[in-house]
Structure 1
Amino acid sequence: MEENFGPQETQDTNRIIPVNIEEQMKTAYIDYSMSVIVGRALPDVRDGFKPVHRRILFAMNELGLNANKPYKKSARVVGEVLGKYHPHGDGSVYFAMVRLAQDWNMRYTLVDGQGNFGNQDGDDPAAMRYTEVRLAKLGEHMLDDIEKDTVDFQLNFDDSEKEPSILPTRIPQLLVNGSSGIAVGMATNMMPHNLSEVIDGCIAYIDNREITIDELMEHVKAPDFPTGGIIYGMEGVKAGMHTGRGRVVVRGQLTVETKPSGREQIIITAVPYQVNRDSLTNRIGELVNEKVIEGVAHVNNESNNKEGTRIVLDLKRDGVANVVINQLYKHTELQTSFGINNVAIVKGRPRTLNLKDLISEFVEFRHEVVTRRTQYELREAEKRAHILQGYLIALDHLDEVIALIRASATPDVAREALINAGWGLDEIQARAILELRLQRLTGMEREKIKEEYDQLMTLIADLRDILGNEGRRYEIIKTELTEIKDKYGDKRKSEITYLDNEVSIKDLIKEEDVVITISHLGYIKRTPADEFRSQRRGGRGVLGGKTRDEDYIEHLFVASTHHTLLFFTEKGRCYWLNVYQIPEGEKTSKGRAIQNLIQLIPGDKVRAILDVKDLKDEEFVSGHNIVLCTKKGVIKKTALVDFSRPRTTGVNAITVIEGDELLEARMTDGNSEIMMAVKSGRAIRFSEKSVRPTGRGAIGVGGIEVDDAKDEVVGMICVNPETDASKTVLVVSEKGFGKRTAFDEYRFTNRGGKGVKTISVTEKTGNLVGMLAVSQTEDLMITCKSGVTIRMKVANISELGRATQGVKLIRIDEGDEIAAITQLDEEEIQVEIMEGETPAVEGSSETPGDATPPAENASEEEQPPVA
C-alpha cells in the first residue's frame, strides 16, 4: 500500500504552491477593494454615474423608453438591466432606478415614474410589477449622441452585449445631482447644486481657464437641495468648494402663524435633505413628552404629495415661538449637517476634487464628446458625399453605364466593368450605382442628388473647420449648455443664511438696490427693484404681492444689499438685520415670516424701517439722530450712536405708554424741520432743535395735539431746509386722492400745537393715510390692501394748495383702500414707462403731461386731470 501511494503523494506535493497567507489576503483584498471602488461605489467624474445608474439609463434608451413614449413596467427595465449588463440583485437595480425618479432625493430627476414611488415620510415604493417608468426629458440628454461614436463601448459580463463605459452627457450631472457611496477605505458624499448656477460656472470656466474658485463661487454659490431648506453658514461650504472636503449645516424652513384664538403655530414647510418627516414628527413628540422641548401643546405631520411638507406645532398659551424654534434646531433633525467629501473616479483612479476640478473635468469631457461627434459626422458625411459623387459620375455617363451594365452577365462583372471604365469609380461607388433605382435617373432626381452633394460639401467644410478650431468647439459646448439651462434651469430651492462671524460676506453679495416688502401680517422679502413697472397716474396697477385674503402689503422700502436695516416695532423695540439676510422672493410671492429673522416679542409688529449705510462709520453715526413719533402725537429724538451696536434680542427704542403705538422713525442730521400729520387732515411744522435728545428708554415729548379719540398721527417727515429745498409735501388719502404742496404753505409753529389743514378731508377722499417729502426726480409707489401696486412719477402729481382735496392718483375698487406709500429714486432705479399701458384718469380724455398746473386753491372737480 505504501509503495503504491508513494509516487502519488510526491506528485501532489509538487503541485502545491506554498503562499504566505498575509500576502495572499492583502492581494485578494486589494483586488476586491479596487473592484468596489471603480466598479460599484464611486461615481465617474465625467457623467457622475456609478455603473448601475449608467446601465439603467442605457437599457431604457435601448428599449426606446423616451419621454414622449408610453411607460413600461419597471420589472421590464430591471430584467433588461439584470440580463444584459448588471448581474446583481433585482432589488439593488430597482431601488437605484426608483431613486432616479424621486424628486425629494434628486435635484433634477432623470427617470419619469408612474405609480407609487414612495415619499419623504419613509414609505417604500410599490413593487416593480406595479410601477412604470420612462426616461425624463433631462435624462434623455445623458444619452445624446451616444450612437455617434462619442464614447467607448465595452463587452458586458458574458461578452454577449456591448455597453458604454461612460455616457456622453450634456449636463454636469455629478455637480447637479450629487452622489454618495461607501467603498473600501474611502467614501464619497457630494451635494446637489442648482443647474443654472453650475452651467454659469462651466461657461465662466470656458471663458477663463485661470478663473479662481472664489470667482466660480460667484456663479455656483452653494449646494441646492431638492427639499429646499436653509443653508446655515458658508464657512463649511466654502471649504468644500476649495478643498473638496467641508461641512454644510442645513435647517428646515418654518413660519409662525397666529390662530384666531390668539395662540401661535409653528409650521414647518421644508425639512433638511434626506430627513424623514414622520421620524422628525415622532422625535419632536418624544422630546415634548420628555419635557426637553417646552411650550408645545400638539404636533402633527399634515404633509402630502400635493401640497408638500407641512408639520404643525401648536404652542401653549405661554409658549414662545422663538424659544421653541431654537430648541427644535438644537435637539432634532430640523438642523442637520452634511459632510462634503467630493471623491470621484478620474481616469480610473479615485480623487478628491474641488469645485474647479469638477467643472474642468466635465468641460474637458464635453470637449472630447464634441470632437468625437464631429469626427463621426465628418466620416458619415464624407461616405455619403463619396457615393453621391459616384452617382454624379454615372449620371454624366448615363448611356455608357446602362450599356455596360446590360452587356454584363453578372453583377460582379458589371461592378468590375464600372471600376475599370476609366471614370475614377471605386468599388463602393460601383456597388451604389448598381443599387440605384431607375427613378433616380429622372431630371428632378438628378437635381436633388446635385443639391444634396453641394450641401454635404458645405457641411464637410464646416465640420473640418470645427475640428481644426478649438475655439469653435468650446463655443459649441457653451451653446449646448446654454440651451440646457434655458430649457431646464430653475431658481434655487435652498436659501443661504450667513453667520455674523463670517466677515467677508459682503464680498460674496452683489451690491444692488432691492425693494423690501413687509405685509400687514409680517411676511418680509426682498425683490429686485426693476420688477416694478412705472405706470401712468390713474392706472389700474399691477399685482405687487401675493397675500392671504386678510393680509396686504404695508411697507415698501428701497435699500442696497450691503446696508443694514433698523426695524422699529409698535411697542417701541429696535432690531437690526442686514439687507442680504432677507430672503429673496418674486414680486408676487408671499415672503417669509419676519419672526423667523428677528426675535419679535409675541403680539408685536414692525412699524418703521431705517436704511443705514454703515453702522461702523463713526463720523456718520455720531452726526445723526433718530427721530421717533407715535400715533398719539409723541415725538422723541435719540442719537444714532445709541443704536450702533446690534443685539439679536433687540433693544428698547422708546417707552410707549398704554394705548399708544410707535408709528414712524426718521434719521436726521440735527438741522431738520419736522412735520407731523393726523388722519383728520391737520399737519404741524416745527424745528428739530425744539426736541431735546434723550436716551433710548425715554418716553418723549408732545409733537402734535391729538384730542379726538378716533384721530391719530398717520405720518412724519424730517426735511433739511438747505439740502432739501426742492422737496414738496406729498399727502395721500385712503380713497386714492393726493397732491403736492410747498413747505412754505405750512407756517412754522411750536411743537405740541394743533397745526393747520393739509388736505380737505371729505367722504369722497376718505381720511389721510400718509405724508412724504418728495422731489421731482422721484417716483411714488402706492400699495392697496388688496395687493395692487402702482408706480408713477412724482413730477406728474399736481402741486396744489394745502387746503384742497387733491387729484385722483389711483382707481380703487369698492371696499379697497390704500395701505402704504413710499418714494423711489428714479435715477437709482431705471424703469421704462410703459406708454399706453393703462388708461388716463377716469372721466378724462387728456393724456398724461398735457395739462397745465391748476390754480393754487382749485378744488379737485375744477382742475384739469394731470398725470
Structure 2
Amino acid sequence: MEEHEDGQLGTEESQEGQQEALTRVTGMYKDWFLDYASYVILERAVPAIEDGFKPVQRRIMHALKELDDGRYNKVANVVGHTMQYHPHGDASIADAMVQIGQKDLLIDTQGNWGNILTGDGAAASRYIEARLSKFALDVVFSPKITEWQASYDGRKKEPVNLPVKFPLLLAQGAEGIAVGLSTKILPHNFNELIDASIKHLKGQRFKLYPDFPTAGIIDVTNYSDGMRGGKIRIRARISQLDKNTLVINEIPYGTNTSSLIDSILKANDKGKIKIKKIEDNTAADVEILIHLPGGISPDKTIDALYAFTACESSISPLGCIIEDNKPLFIGVQEMLERSTEHTVELLKAELEIQLGELEEQWHFASLERIFIENRIYRDIEEEETWEGVISAIDKGLKPHTANLKRAVTQEDIVRLTEIRIKRISKFDIDKAQQLIDSLEDKIAQIKNNLANLVDYAIDYFKELKSKYGKERERKSEIRIFDEIEATKVVIRNTKLYVNREEGFIGTSLKRDEYVTDCSDIDDIIVFTKSGHMMITKVDSKTFVEKNIIHVAVFKKKDKRTTYNMIYKDGRGGASYVKRFNVTAVTRDKMYDLTSGKAQSDVLYFSANPNGEAEVVTVILRQAGNIKKLKWELDFADVLIKGRGSKGNIVTKYSVKRIELKEKGLSTLKPRKIWFDDTIQRLNVDGRGELLGEFTSEDRLLMISQKGVVKTAIPDLIMRFDDDMIVLEKWVPNKPLTAIYWEGEKELFYVKRFLIENPDKEEVIITAHPKSYLEKVFTDYRPVAEVVFAKKRGQDRKDNLEINLEEFIGLKGITAMGNQLTKEKVLEINSKQPLPYDEPEKHEAVDIEVVDEENVEADQKKTPEQKSKGKKGSKDDESQTKLF
C-alpha cells in the first residue's frame, strides 16, 4: 500500500496476485468525513442556543434587515441578497424562508405562502413578498452589540449570532437531521414562554408544554421536558355533527388534511373502519366531514379513527442545540433558562452602551456650554497655528472642567473647533442647561435599570407580552388520553366459520358452520369435547383439536363472561362441575380444563356473557342399587373460581345425559361505573366520579348545554360532548325540571317533564337562536332562587324562592312550559331540594349474587346434598351446548 501526498490512499495487489485489493479509509475518515460531519452539524442542521437560528435562517434575517425600508420586498430579491452570505443555492434559502414565514412570527408575509393545514406549497419566490415583522425589529436586531464575522468568501460581514432577546428557539421549534445526530424541538406558546421567563427571573418554578399551530389535542404525560426518550401524543379534534356525520376541525401537528384523508381512506379499504364518503371543506380553518353508513356507531368510529389512522400520532422530541461550537442535549426548561439569562445579558449590554452614549452626550454638552458661555472661542483669534489653537482652547477650559466626569481629550477640543458661528451666536444658556438636565435624568434612569437589572428584564418581558401577545393564546388543548384497544373498535369485516368435527376454525371455511362476524386482528377462544381450551389469532384456516364444542371472539380482561362446565374426570371417573372466567392466556397454547386424566370428557358446557347460572337436570345410567337416577343442579350454587380449579363433585356414578331445565339470570353484581372527567370516558376501574351500579337494562341520562336530552345504555367506548352539564344514572320515574331563556319572548320559562321515549334524542328549549338553557334540576322536589335586577330609582326586589314541583305540573317534553317571571332577572341559583322518600323497590326475582372476581374458597357439599336454589326464568344471551 502506498499513501499519496494529497492524503489519498491507493491500492496495491499482492506479489502473488492472489489476495484481494484493499483500500484503507482511515485517512479519508479523519480528514474528510469528520470535517463534513462537523460542517453539517454546526453550519446546517442544528440551531444555536444563543439566538435559536440555523445559519441559513440567520443569514435570511440579516438580509431582510439590510433590505428593510418598511416596504415589502420580493422573496426572490431577498433570496438573492442572502446568497452573498450563504454558500448554498437559492432553493434551500427560499424553502427556509417559507418555513419561517409560515410560523407567523418574524416575517410579515404577502401573497401565497402555502398552507400548513392543507399541505399546499408556497407560490414561486418571484410572486410573493416579505418584510420583517415589528416583533422581529424589536427583539432580533441590535447592531451595536452584535458580533460580526467574515462571510464564506470574505467579501461581506455577517453576524456570528443575532442578539435575540426572546426564547425564539422554543417559540418556533426546530428540526434537523445532521450526521450522527438530529434535533427535534417542538414549538411552544408565545405567552407561556414569556410567563416562564418571568417566573425564572423571579426564582419561581415553571413547566413548559408544546403548542402547535395546527391546534389539536395533546397528551404531554411522557413529554420528559422535551429530551431524548420523551414522547407526546397528538389527536385530531373529532366531534359528532349528527348521528351519521363526524367532523374534524383540528389536525395533529406534522400532518395535513390531504395526508389525513388518505390515511382514513386506506383504513376504510383495509376494513378497519367503515365510512360512506369524506368531504374536505378546509379553507382558513379545517373542516373534514366524514359521512357514516347507517347503523355504524359514531363513538366507536371516532376511537377507530384514532387507532387506525393519522388522526392520532406521536412525536418524539429531541432537544439538541449548538453551544460553543459543540452539540449539547438539554431539555426545554434549561433552554428557557439559558435564553432568559442570555436576554438579561443582552439587555445589560444595551444599557451599558446607552449609558456610555448618554455620558458622552452629557460630556460634550457640558464642554460646549463652558466653551461658549466663557467665550473661550475668543482665545484663538490671535493664534496662527493649529497647535496654538488647540493649546489656547485647552488652557481656557482648564479652570472650568472640575465638574466633568472625564478628562478633556484632543478629540473633544477638535469637536469644539467645528462648532459653527451661527450656533455660537444663537446659543441659549437655559436650553443648554435643560438638555444637560434631561441627559442626567436619562443617565440616572439607566443606572437605576442596571442596578435593578432583573426587574428591568421582567418589565421588558411584560411589555413584549402586552404588545405582541394578544392574539397568541394556546391552540392545542392539553388532556390525558384514554387508551384505545384496537380489537374493541375495529370494524368486524370478515366472518368466522367452524368445522366442529374436524377441529378447524377460520375465515375461509365458507361451506362450514358460520359462527360470528370478526376482524382480522381478533383473538378466537375455542373449547373442545376433551376439556381443552386454546386462544388463537384469526386466520383463514387453523386446526385446534377435533370435536369443538364452543368458539367465540375472545375479549381480553373479560370478567363478566362466565363458563359453566360439567366434565367426567378420566375413563370411569367421577363427574365434576365448575364455573370460571378466562381473562388472559398465552396465545396458541393448549390449556387442559380437566384434572388432566386420559379420556376426560365434557358432559355439559355453556358460555354466559353476563354470568348467567342455569338449572340443569342430571340423569344417571341404571347400574346396581342406585336409588336416585335424576336430580337438578343449579349453577347458582357453584362459586366462580379459576379455570385451573378441579371443581366440585357432581356424582361418582356414570352420567347418561345432562339436560337444560331453566335458563338463569345473571349471578354477577350490577357493574359499578365511574366517569373520569380527565379523559371524559366511562370506566369500571374506580377512576373519577361514581355514577352508580348498572344492570344490563339501566341507562345513563345526559343533558348538554345546548338543551339536548338523551339516555343510553352505558358503554365504555362512549364519548361525551364538552358542553355536557348532566351525566348520571337515569331513573325513569324521576321528573326533570329545566329553566331556560326563550329568545323570542325574552323571558325565562320553566318546564317539568319525564322522558317518555328513552331511545329518542330531544331538545328541551325552543329553536330560537337566542334561546339558551339556564338551569337543569334532576331532583324529585327542586327549589330555585331567583335574584332580581335592581331597577333605576328603586330598591332591589327581594330574592324569590320557588318550589318548582308546586310551580308547574308535569307536561310533555316538547311543551314550552310556564313563564317564570316578568321581572328582570339578575341570576337563578339552585337551592337545597325538599326532602323526598323514594318508594321501596320490590324485586320480582331473588337470587344469590356473587362477585365478578374469582372466589378461591372451595365448597365441601355435593350438589345432591345442597338445597335447591331459587331460579329465574329470564332468557338471556347465553350460548348452551348439551352433550
User: What TM-score do you get using the length of structure 1 for normalisation?
Assistant: 0.57
Answer whether contact 1:733 1:770 (CA < 8 A) is retained: no
- How many angstroms apart in 1 are the aligned matches of 2:152 and 2:702? 81
Question: 2:414 matched to 1:431?
Answer: yes
2:47 partner SS: coil
- How many angstroms apart in 2 are the aligned matches of 1:253 and 1:405? 83
- How many angstroms apart in 1 are the aligned matches of 2:415 and 2:357? 15
Q: Which moved more, 1:114-123 or 1:13-22?
A: 13-22
Answer whether contact 1:36 1:184 (CA < 8 A) is retained: yes
Deviation at 1:487, TM superposition (A): 2.3
Answer whether contact 1:189 1:343 (CA < 8 A) is retained: yes
Deviation at 1:375, TM superposition (A): 1.6
Q: Where does the alignment leave 5 or more consecutive residues of structure 1 unmatched? A: 1-11, 503-572, 583-596, 600-611, 632-642, 652-662, 668-695, 704-712, 717-729, 741-767, 782-791, 813-817, 827-867
Map residues 367-386 of structure 1 onto 2, 5 A cutoff.
367-386=344-363
Answer whether contact 1:155 1:162 (CA < 8 A) is retained: yes
Map residues 426-825 of structure 1 onto 2, 5 A cutoff.
426-441=409-424, 445-467=428-450, 469=451, 472-489=452-469, 490-499=472-481, 577-581=675-679, 615=689, 648-649=716-717, 714-715=736-737, 773-774=782-783, 795-797=798-800, 808-809=821-822, 823=829
Give the residue type in structure 2 aligned to 1:323. Answer: K
Give the residue type in structure 2 aligned to 1:22. Answer: T
Which residue in the other structure is 2:121 paired with? 124
Deviations 1:723-776 (A, max 9, x none): xxxxxxx99999677899xxxxxxxxxxxxxxxxxxxxxxxxxxx997784587
Answer whether contact 1:175 1:190 (CA < 8 A) is retained: yes
2:352 partner SS: helix
Aligned residue among 91, 107, 111 for 1:111? 107
Deviation at 1:72, TM superposition (A): 1.0
Which residue in the other structure is 2:98 paired with? 98
Question: 2:240 matched to 1:256?
Answer: yes
Give the residue type in structure 1 aligned to 2:390. Answer: R
- How many angstroms apart in 1 are the aligned matches of 2:702 and 2:456? 63
Answer whether contact 1:240 1:247 (CA < 8 A) is retained: no
Question: 2:135 matched to 1:138?
Answer: yes
Distance 1:406 1:822, change over 3 A: same
Which residue in the other structure is 2:56 paired with? 52
- How many angstroms apart in 1 are the aligned matches of 2:691 and 2:269? 50
- How many angstroms apart in 2 are the aligned matches of 1:733 and 1:308? 32
Which residue in the other structure is 2:291 paired with? 314
Question: 2:260 matched to 1:280?
Answer: yes
Which residue in the other structure is 1:530 paired with? none
Give the residue type in structure 1 aligned to 2:42. Answer: V
Which residue in the other structure is 2:46 paired with? 42
Give the residue type in structure 1 aligned to 2:222. Answer: G
Deviation at 1:13, TM superposition (A): 11
Which residue in the other structure is 2:190 paired with? 195
- Aligned-pair Cα RMSD in Å: 4.5
- How many angstroms apart in 2 are the aligned matches of 1:629 and 1:78? 62
Deviation at 1:422, TM superposition (A): 5.0
Question: 2:241 matched to 1:240?
Answer: no
Deviation at 1:169, TM superposition (A): 1.6
Which residue in the other structure is 2:86 paired with? 86
Deviation at 1:290, TM superposition (A): 4.0
Greater relative contact order (Cα < 8 A, sep 6+): 1
Answer whether contact 1:800 1:806 (CA < 8 A) is retained: no
Which residue in the other structure is 2:380 paired with? 405
- How many angstroms apart in 2 are the aligned matches of 1:299 and 1:739? 41
Which residue in the other structure is 2:340 paired with? 363
- How many angstroms apart in 2 are the aligned matches of 1:314 and 1:38? 50
Give the residue type in structure 2 aligned to 1:172. Answer: P
Answer whether contact 1:54 1:166 (CA < 8 A) is retained: yes
Which residue in the other structure is 1:856 paired with? none
Which residue in the other structure is 1:414 paired with? 389
Question: 2:143 matched to 1:147?
Answer: yes
Deviation at 1:197, TM superposition (A): 1.1
1:340 partner SS: coil
2:314 partner SS: strand
- How many angstroms apart in 2 are the aligned matches of 1:443 and 1:123? 65
Which residue in the other structure is 2:613 paired with? none
Answer whether contact 1:281 1:300 (CA < 8 A) is retained: no
Answer whether contact 1:779 1:824 (CA < 8 A) is retained: no
Answer whether contact 1:386 1:429 (CA < 8 A) is retained: no
1:246 partner SS: coil
Aligned residue among 271, 294, 297 for 1:291? 271
Question: 2:178 matched to 1:183?
Answer: yes
Give the residue type in structure 2 aligned to 1:37. Answer: I
Distance 1:178 1:825, change over 3 A: farther
Deviation at 1:271, TM superposition (A): 1.3
- How many angstroms apart in 1 are the aligned matches of 2:702 and 2:249? 36
Deviations 1:48-95 (A, max 9, x none): 110111111111111115xxx221111111111102x11211000011
- How many angstroms apart in 2 are the aligned matches of 1:436 and 1:22? 70
Answer whether contact 2:174 2:183 (CA < 8 A) is retained: yes
Give the residue type in structure 2 aligned to 1:91. Answer: A
Deviations 1:476-508 (A, max 9, x none): 111111111222222211111214589xxxxxx
Aligned-residue sequence identity (percent) comes to: 26
User: What TM-score do you get using the length of structure 2 for normalisation?
Assistant: 0.56
**How many residues get paired?**
561
Answer whether contact 1:188 1:342 (CA < 8 A) is retained: yes
Aligned residue among 168, 173, 177 for 1:173? 168
- How many angstroms apart in 2 are the aligned matches of 1:461 and 1:191? 42
Deviation at 1:284, TM superposition (A): 2.2
- How many angstroms apart in 2 are the aligned matches of 1:475 and 1:487? 18
Give the residue type in structure 2 aligned to 1:240. Answer: D
1:225 partner SS: coil
Question: 2:36 matched to 1:32?
Answer: yes
Answer whether contact 1:737 1:806 (CA < 8 A) is retained: yes
Deviation at 1:381, TM superposition (A): 1.4
